[in-house]
Structure 1
Amino acid sequence: MARLRPQDAERRQAAGPDFLEALARGLAVLQAFDAERRQMTLAEVARAVDLPRATVRRALLTLAELGHLETDGRLFRLTPRVLRLAAGYLGSNGVSTILQPRCERLSLAIGEPCSAAVLDGGEIVFIAYGQPTRMLSVTTMVGWRLPAFCTALGRVLLAGLPDAALETFFAALRPVAATPQTTLDPVAIRAQVIETRREGFALVDQEAEIGFRSIAVPLRRYDGRVVAALNVGMQVERGTVAMLREQVLPLLRAEAAEISALLV
């Protein structure tokens, strides 16, 4: 059996005797593949997950046998079967079912992309997405991840966290610039999150993507807990910051109020 790394030993100790290290390592191997690492050798995966080659080899071959990976004997890549994991979440999570048609409707009404996301650690994950018919792309943002600290959706979701959870987030935050306009000072980021909590919305201007502005509001369930965030984004040439505040924000808030009445 491979020796546990110090961080793995700490995690096992914190999680208790029922924690399955082999399962955790297998999931880490799956998550190592992304848009920049679409196919990898055994050695590349081992470096990506910082695990011994023998451990990674067993995980890769097991995942290939289960149909989640395919290999030509040297390179490994994901198969469509991994989508069953995402489909299970989207199908069992009532929030996604409610939000998808709402995002599509709002996008058509405003003429700009509309999305919804949830918080996963330090990232946001898109769980619903609608785009206007004028946009010919057939790609979807569902499943896409972005840093929470520099996105409107992320700041809304962070603002909805209890104080203790927010402190945990900032303790682990290591901000990396997405654009030259990305705020990197943790003090300034914290101030933006607190302002978002006070104002009830977040507006981000080209911090996550050059040439793109977005505005987001929280989606609360019956007990007031923020369970997701709703967002409209647009290219800078299609709308000013003032337009987002004065025209888009009231529509977002009205839609959020209707959605929140459906969340349980």
Structure 2
Amino acid sequence: MPRISRSEAEQNQADRAGPEFLEALARGLRVIQSFDRDRRQLSLSDVAKQVDLPRASVRRTLHTLVQLGFAETDGKLFRLTPRVLTLAGAYLLSNPIASILQPAIDRLSAEINASCSTAVLDGDDVVMIVHASPSRILPLSAQVGFRIPAFASSLGRVLLADLDDAGLDAFLARIQPHKLTEQTIVDKKQLWQAILKARADGYSLADQEVEVGFRSISVALKRLDGRTIAALNIGIHTERGTPEMMRQTFLPKLRSLASELQQQLI
């Protein structure tokens, strides 16, 4: 079988990872990640374009995913199947943090009748690992596995605030902020200031920066040794309350829960 030429990014990654790095697995995961809420069905050509790989390589990867039950096709378009959720399930079931957090998040959500989430930093995004919501409220921006750009979200800014100045500089240098709504902050100097404010205040509030009509407030979740491991969040529709109401009513509850959970996280 002819060797597939590496892109510059792949070559750099392989050089960093060393001889044990398995390129076929890496490419397979990239193909899975090419599907999202806006790209639920893709043709072979679509996937090849998304992952910047030769069609032959993508064809073999998609064929393998179909045979393993992680994808299906009508002969033209491919889509992921629910079996992909077993990958996320493996993380959630093997991660004791999620099992500790879910009951607490469920309790807080029921108490305040609002959406509550926990997220972790993953590259330049935050990823929801725990979520609870009143049944009549289904926000798009707070579901398990959902990814949000860290720069635009209260969750992300709380987690980025835990970086040292060099790490924060590196983050801001590599990202290309883009408008998610009219209120999204994209100026890097303003983002720096917003993250430093979150560091100083111990919380972050984002007002319709990720989703129009939706506000969120977040605090850091720390272990007993003081290390930040996740962020806790409450999100509401704008008609439900003002930013000041969120600070006065929801922030104390988030801080109380974070303090309670810290005693359980070693």
What TM-score, normalized to structure 2?
Answer: 0.94
* One-letter identity of the residue aligned with 1:23: L
Q: Deviations over 1:24-68 (max 9, x none)?
A: 111101111111111111111101111000111111111112211
* One-letter identity of the residue aligned with 2:248: E
Equivalent residue in structure 1 for 2:51, among 49, 52, 61 = 49
Q: Deviations over 1:60-117 (max 9, x none)?
A: 1111122111122222111111111000001111111111111111111112111111
Corresponding position: 1:84 with 2:79: no
Equivalent residue in structure 1 for 2:10, among 8, 11, 15 = 8
Q: Could you tell me whether the CA contact under 8 Å between 2:118 and 2:231 is conserved in 1?
A: yes
More off after superposition, 193-202 vs 124-133: 124-133
**Consecutive aligned runs of 4 or more in structure 1 exceeding 6 Å deviation:** none
Aligned match of 1:175: 177
The equivalences for 1:125-144 within 5 A come to 125-133=127-135, 135=136, 137=138, 141-144=143-146
Corresponding position: 1:151 with 2:146: no
Q: How many residues align?
A: 263
Unmatched 5+ residue regions in structure 1? none
For 1:149, what is the secondary structure of its paired residue? helix
For 1:215, what is the secondary structure of its paired residue? strand
Equivalent residue in structure 2 for 1:97, among 96, 99, 109 = 99
* One-letter identity of the residue aligned with 1:14: R
Unmatched 5+ residue regions in structure 2? none
For 1:232, what is the secondary structure of its paired residue? strand
Q: Relative to 1, partners in 2 of residues 1:68 and 1:191: Cα closer, same or farther, differing over 3 Å?
A: same
Q: CA deviation at 1:182?
A: 0.8
Distance 1:262 1:205 in 2: 31
Distance 1:155 1:221 in 2: 18
Distance 1:29 1:50 in 2: 10
Aligned match of 1:65: 67
Corresponding position: 1:119 with 2:121: yes
Aligned match of 1:261: 263
Distance 2:8 2:208 in 1: 39
The equivalences for 1:27-38 within 5 A come to 27-38=29-40
Distance 1:132 1:66 in 2: 36
Q: Deviations over 1:197-232 (max 9, x none)?
A: 111100111111112111110000121111010011
Q: Could you tell me whether the CA contact under 8 Å between 2:115 and 2:137 is conserved in 1?
A: no
Q: CA deviation at 1:10?
A: 1.5
Q: Deviations over 1:119-167 (max 9, x none)?
A: 111111111111125x265997111111111111111111122334323
Q: CA deviation at 1:3?
A: 1.1
* One-letter identity of the residue aligned with 2:191: I
Distance 1:81 1:138 in 2: 24
